[in-house]
Structure 1
Amino acid sequence: MRLPLIALLAGLTLLSACGGGGRPDVEGVPQVQVVPSNFADADPHPEIAPAIRRHPVRGIDVARFQTSVDWASARANGVNFAFIKATEGGDRVDEMFASHWRGAAAAGVPRGAYHFFYHCRAPEEQARWFFSHVPRRSGDLPPVIDMEWTPDSPTCTIRRPAAEIRADAAKLVEMFTRHYGTAPILYTTVDFYVDNQMWRVGGTDFWLRSVAAHPSDIYAGQHWAFWQYSSTGLIPGIAGEVDLNAFSGSERDWAVWLARRVQP
């Protein structure tokens, strides 16, 4: 996976390659400079501050609601990765996707695109829609499938059986993995995770939302790669509030994860 990592790290500072640390079967992975996060929160939860200090690698996710992002400033203030909304269902493209996608790349922010799952369209159709708008690019972060309930949707509020939901998730994971050459990340919320027994979905890293406690306290026993811990973040360079996220491990773990999981 050395070539994808080099592609991803274009524009970032590489420190000396080193062995040891991280997982024993990955050797010679370059360390990645992680910028300390100068993040604030408009509505902080008291349980989050002590928990988040254990996770030094932090980033954001953005969509059409973030209409003004100075990506260079955001990067300098500790945005070490960004997940950017690309598509929804089978006929919607986020209005800010192209702008955010270009801006993150220009600032050297590792970026990945995400698809918002629509419960009233077949998973195959949704996957093909995403593929048509998000190119395969060596070095990008894995794509993300965002699955949650949609009670406020103007067109689709159905709640199908859990087995059907998991079958759709499995189909999407299989199609995304085949198309991009790396397994996708699955984002979900507490209620959706519990209602549909999403821990039974394999072949993916999880990105979990938990704004009142550490994921280990809410999703007991579930391995996760990313934690969305606030939706009211304040970061220099970003107008308004933004979702805040943390990677699960150390700076060394981040370098190892990138070496394994970026698109080939």
Structure 2
Amino acid sequence: MRFSAASAFVLASLALAGCTSSSGLGGLMEQASPSQETTSSVIRPSADIAPVVAQAPMPQPVMAAPTEVTTMTAPPVQVAMAMPTPMPQTPMEPAIELEDMPTPDAKPIALIAPSRPMKATPFAPGQIYGRRFRDAKPINFGKAASPKNFAVHGVDVSRWQGEIDWPKLRTQGANFAYIKATDGGDHLDPMFRKNWREAEAAGLKRGAYHFFYWCRTAGEQADWFIRNVPKVAGALPPVIDVEYNGESSCKRRHGREKIVEKMQVFMDKLERHYGQRPIIYTAPDFYRDNLRGEFQDYPFWLRAVAEPPSKVYPGRKWVFWQYSGSGLSHGVDGKIDLNVFRGSASDWHRWVANSAG
């Protein structure tokens, strides 16, 4: 069959267009197509795809856009060909709604409930709540010396109390809490930060204490405490816990003079940092051997679980009395230490105003 010159020209043009489409546009689409590994991801496409779409040459009308591609996997150029009017999208916006994309492994944070959610505090900050604790080993201190005579009760806690329901503990009469923070020069109680936050959220007055380790320098221990206990407004004065500990790896027993010296170094450093005079917590045997008559201008927190402080620490003034190590309370699993503040409710408010950070 013979062809006219016009027919030959048309056929040649079609062949050239087909060649250009298969080599040029196909290569461009191959480069612009997103990775198949991200089709189920909710992450927005990277910005380097957008310039390819914007610069892609428009295909000739004779080239029909593929029709059997999904929106999920369609190359950007093909989508542009199917749209008569460009979509008003910024280069970073995906071509589909993120809500429509499958997310089999994603869990909305709002649907993941905490194991023990915090409850709202049922009373105003600063309100004194009456004692409702029980005691696994109750002691009769006598009518005149009974802890029940004191208006303001509180607790001290550490990791051994586990998860604490702080709002519920406060309704039981815990108006303040001393929280174990550090031990020696390198140990942080693993529950300190959680207890510190949640006690404050429940409206308790809170303070932190340090268990002194006699095989480490006082300066190192002070630095470690300062590093881990924030300086915040309203916090109770820091506490140094000095006592004998038969379970400690440190078996060193310093003389009285050395003990007083180390304590002074530690307390001076804390007072300079926090602007509060530290409180000394101690037990009967340690006090008898090392602290009787010492630190007359420091506040004391005394442990006395068999007799009142007046008999165990004659002549010693105190601010807090730990009267039980076997307390029982809603909000805590197991036993908890119970304490009182020496004074009335109005005394408490004045002391907090003068002593808290």
TM-score, length-normalised on structure 2?
A: 0.64
Q: Choose which of 116, 124, 134 in structure 2 pairs with 1:13.
A: 124
Partners of 1:142 and 1:109 in 2: how far apart? 14
Partners of 1:111 and 1:92 in 2: how far apart? 20
Aligned twin of 2:128: 34
Partners of 1:156 and 1:228 in 2: how far apart? 25
SS in 1 for 2:334: coil
What does 1:1-264 align with in structure 2 at a 5 Å threshold? Answer: 13=124, 32-47=126-141, 51-153=146-248, 155-263=249-357
Q: CA deviation at 1:11?
A: 9.7
SS in 1 for 2:161: coil
Relative to its length, the structure with more helix (as a share) is 2
Is the Cα–Cα contact under 8 Å of residues 187 and 207 in structure 1 kept in the other structure?
Answer: yes
Q: CA deviation at 1:99?
A: 1.3
Aligned-pair identity in percent equals 45
1:223 counterpart letter in structure 2: K
Q: CA deviation at 1:198?
A: 4.3
1:34-78 Cα distance to aligned partner (Å, 9 max, x none): 100110001112226752122121000000101021000011111
Partners of 1:81 and 1:101 in 2: how far apart? 12
Is the Cα–Cα contact under 8 Å of residues 136 and 328 in structure 2 kept in the other structure?
Answer: yes
Partners of 2:258 and 2:233 in 1: how far apart? 33
Q: CA deviation at 1:13?
A: 3.2
Range 124-133 or range 162-171, more displaced: 162-171
Partners of 1:81 and 1:224 in 2: how far apart? 16
Aligned twin of 2:114: none
SS in 2 for 1:103: helix
Q: CA deviation at 1:12?
A: 6.6
Aligned twin of 1:5: none
Partners of 1:12 and 1:118 in 2: how far apart? 39
TM-score, length-normalised on structure 1?
A: 0.86
Give the structure with higher Rg (CA): 2
Is the Cα–Cα contact under 8 Å of residues 147 and 186 in structure 1 kept in the other structure?
Answer: yes
Q: CA deviation at 1:111?
A: 0.4
Aligned twin of 2:106: none
Is the Cα–Cα contact under 8 Å of residues 178 and 208 in structure 2 kept in the other structure?
Answer: yes
Partners of 1:190 and 1:67 in 2: how far apart? 27
Relative to its length, the structure with more strand (as a share) is 1
Aligned twin of 2:65: none
Is the Cα–Cα contact under 8 Å of residues 148 and 192 in structure 1 kept in the other structure?
Answer: yes
Is the Cα–Cα contact under 8 Å of residues 230 and 243 in structure 1 kept in the other structure?
Answer: yes
In structure 2, list runs of 5 or more residues that go unmatched: 1-120
Q: 1:253 to 1:11 in 2, by over 3 A?
A: farther
1:36 counterpart letter in structure 2: G
In structure 1, list runs of 5 or more residues that go unmatched: 1-9, 15-31
SS in 2 for 1:53: helix
SS in 2 for 1:199: coil
Is the Cα–Cα contact under 8 Å of residues 166 and 198 in structure 1 kept in the other structure?
Answer: no
Q: Which has the higher contact order (CA 8 A, sep 6+)?
A: 1
Aligned residues: 236
Is the Cα–Cα contact under 8 Å of residues 68 and 238 in structure 1 kept in the other structure?
Answer: yes
Partners of 1:185 and 1:127 in 2: how far apart? 14
Is the Cα–Cα contact under 8 Å of residues 48 and 213 in structure 1 kept in the other structure?
Answer: no
